[in-house]
């Protein structure tokens, strides 16, 4: 008896693609047997349409999440109501897991940025599991470590690089390693990419047009690079 209203969040069975994503997260990829079963039983699946709130800053943190498909925006508001994205979560990313032992309230808002399916983990249940099962504790550590490293990279990136450099970085991380021509396709709207890089959408657009003179062509979601090596030089 699945929910069919596409507005509603609902408990669904995992489809194959979502299951594959879930099993490759740092959280679950190293687990097996009993630990895996117990983690799965602390989990439920939630589907949401675009622009739905997952939680709000200050609310009681009784679950953390893993993105299975779609995208999630984590953001804060300043006094004037201006929003700033802190992180964009893609399939495979976990968020709010730092509250397992880091506090009891959510520290930011979370909202879908597309139709999105999430794995929802009960915070207290996983807390208990981490105390009991050694490999679950280790999985938590691995996940937190990776997450901390990317967040520190984000700070460094913000403070060290200009908009065109950040965009070039983003493109290069998704290009083949050798130096020739390449073509990639953005998996989401430019809007989101802007937030991911800490830019206003207009600034992203201008960064792309700055990169044109370095051989970067943008048409819709498709980005073509004439010479990957040349792009590396700034």
Q: Which residue has the tokens 């290069």?
A: 172
Q: Does 17 bind DNA (CB under 7 A)?
A: no
- State CA 43 to chain mean position distance: 19
CB of 81 to a second copy, least distance (A): 11
Question: What is the helix (H) or strand (E) element at residue 93, kind and residue range?
Answer: none
Q: Does 190 bind DNA (CB under 7 A)?
A: yes
CB of 160 to DNA, least distance (A): 10
Q: Which residue has the tokens 């908009």?
A: 163
Helices (H), 53-133: 123-132
Q: Which stretch binds a second copy (CB under 8 A): 65-73, 112-120, 142-150, 204-212?
A: 142-150
Q: Which stretch binds DNA (CB under 7 A): 59-67, 101-109, 118-126, 187-195?
A: 187-195
Question: What is the helix (H) or strand (E) element at residue 22, kind and residue range?
Answer: helix 16-23
Among 12, 40, 115, 137, binds a second copy (CB under 8 A): 137
Q: Does 219 bind DNA (CB under 7 A)?
A: yes
Burial class (CB in 10 A: 0-12, 13-18, 19+), 154: middle
Question: What distances in angstroms separate CA 136 from CA 15, 28, 30, 35, 217, one per listed residue?
Answer: 24, 8, 9, 7, 45
Q: Does 138 bind DNA (CB under 7 A)?
A: no
Residues forming contacts to DNA in the complex (CB under 7 A) are: 82, 162-164, 189-191, 198-209, 218-221
Catalog residues that contact a second copy under the rule CB under 8 A.
76-79, 82, 84-87, 98-103, 107-108, 130-131, 134, 137-138, 140-142, 144-149, 151-156, 158-161, 198, 234
């Amino acid at each position: 008896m699945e929910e069919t209203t596409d507005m509603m969040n609902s408990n669904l069975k995992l489809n194959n693609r979502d299951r594959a994503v879930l099993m490759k997260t740092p959280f679950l990829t190293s687990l097996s047997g009993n630990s895996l079963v117990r983690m799965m039983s602390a989990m439920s699946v939630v589907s949401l349409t675009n622009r739905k709130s997952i939680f709000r800053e200050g609310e009681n943190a009784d679950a953390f999440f893993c993105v299975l498909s779609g995208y999630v925006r984590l953001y804060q508001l300043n006094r004037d109501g201006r929003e700033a994205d802190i992180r964009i979560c893609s399939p495979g990313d976990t968020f709010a897991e730092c509250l397992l032992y880091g506090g009891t309230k959510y520290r930011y808002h979370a909202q879908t940025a597309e139709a999105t399916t999430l794995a929802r983990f009960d915070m207290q249940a996983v807390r208990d599991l981490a105390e009991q099962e050694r490999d679950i504790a280790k999985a938590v550590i691995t996940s937190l470590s990776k997450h901390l490293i990317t967040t520190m990279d984000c700070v460094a990136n913000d403070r060290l690089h200009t908009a065109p450099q950040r965009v070039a970085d983003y493109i290069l991380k998704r290009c083949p390693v050798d130096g020739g021509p390449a073509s990639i396709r953005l998996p989401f709207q430019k809007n989101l990419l802007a937030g991911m890089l800490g830019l206003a959408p207009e600034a992203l657009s201008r960064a792309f047009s700055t990169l044109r003179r370095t051989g970067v062509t943008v048409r819709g979601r498709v980005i073509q690079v004439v010479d990957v090596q040349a792009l590396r030089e700034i």
